[in-house]
A and B are shown apart, each in its own frame.
Chain A
């Protein structure tokens, strides 16, 4: 059932697309490059501006009463989205009028499976030559909390 298990790529891939949104529920904007701000988020993104749908929630386990640090940036695997949608017989993310930005994640990667991303939870990864991020948790499909 879990299509992503068919991909056994290691954590080695590339940035395929970048998205931000200035406000909660506002359309995602595509970019060729973005600026990551340490401990904050992506410049211009709703979570860096504390304007995300979940920005009000202060569910940090590490620092009670604070926002979760994992809200700063999200990563999704285009390969696994393609496989999952295909296996379920659903319209592709590349179909007319559709986009990987519809999933409302910031960084879309290719060459890395969702399984590899989840396996990297609790570890640090390099994004490009300059940036480093720490993967805290699975970013489950948009649900309250």
Chain B
């Protein structure tokens, strides 16, 4: 996950304590770079918010109250989903171990290999977002590999579709 981050322009990253940990230590610099606030990642790690599922929709406005739902509400029985992120995802970057970082890199590489087959545009979108602040989303080697495989897959797919269409045309012509 975070292990995929790499600074495109060394020296731009701004937290020396993280930089000293090597390229994997640059996790989370996306928002820090976006905000141009060196040190922000470590400062706000515990204050970075929560991820939610919308159970009941409707209008929400500034000034509206935020309160706990009653314990008897059916939504309280929702099964919590913390995702399948690798070990260390919820650990602040400065506390992540080498094993966590290595595991995260392997996890991201596997994820990218799968996405190249199923959602290459989604993989490219993530990379482009991080590129916009001079970072990379995917492990560099895996991304280079994906970019080589991707056009080949598109070519083979279009050849396959052409053959199927041609075969169907011949078949219906004969029938």
Interface residues of A (CB under 8 A from B): 2-4, 11-18, 24-25, 31-41, 51, 53-57, 59-64, 68-77, 80-81, 83-85, 87-88, 90-91, 98, 102-105, 107, 109, 111-112, 114-115, 117-118, 120-145
Contacts and interface: CB of A to CB of B under 8 A. Distances in A.
Given A134-B52, A143-B27, A55 B37 contact: no
Contacts, number: 319
Interface stretch (B55-63, B153-161, B167-175): B55-63
B123 to A, nearest CB: 6
Nearest to A109: B66
Contact of A114 (B47, B55, B121, B137): B47
Majority DSSP secondary structure for residues of B touching A: mixed
20 contacts: A34-B59, A37-B54, A40-B54, A51-B125, A59-B84, A62-B81, A70-B83, A73-B54, A91-B37, A114-B49, A117-B50, A124-B68, A125-B69, A128-B60, A133-B55, A134-B80, A142-B31, A142-B34, A144-B3, A145-B1
A24 B129 contact: yes
Interface of B: 1-5, 27-28, 30-32, 34-35, 37-69, 73, 75-76, 78-86, 89-90, 93, 104, 107-108, 111, 115, 119, 121-123, 125-126, 128-130, 132, 137-138
Contacts of A112: 66
B57 A36 contact: yes
A120 B69 CA distance: 11
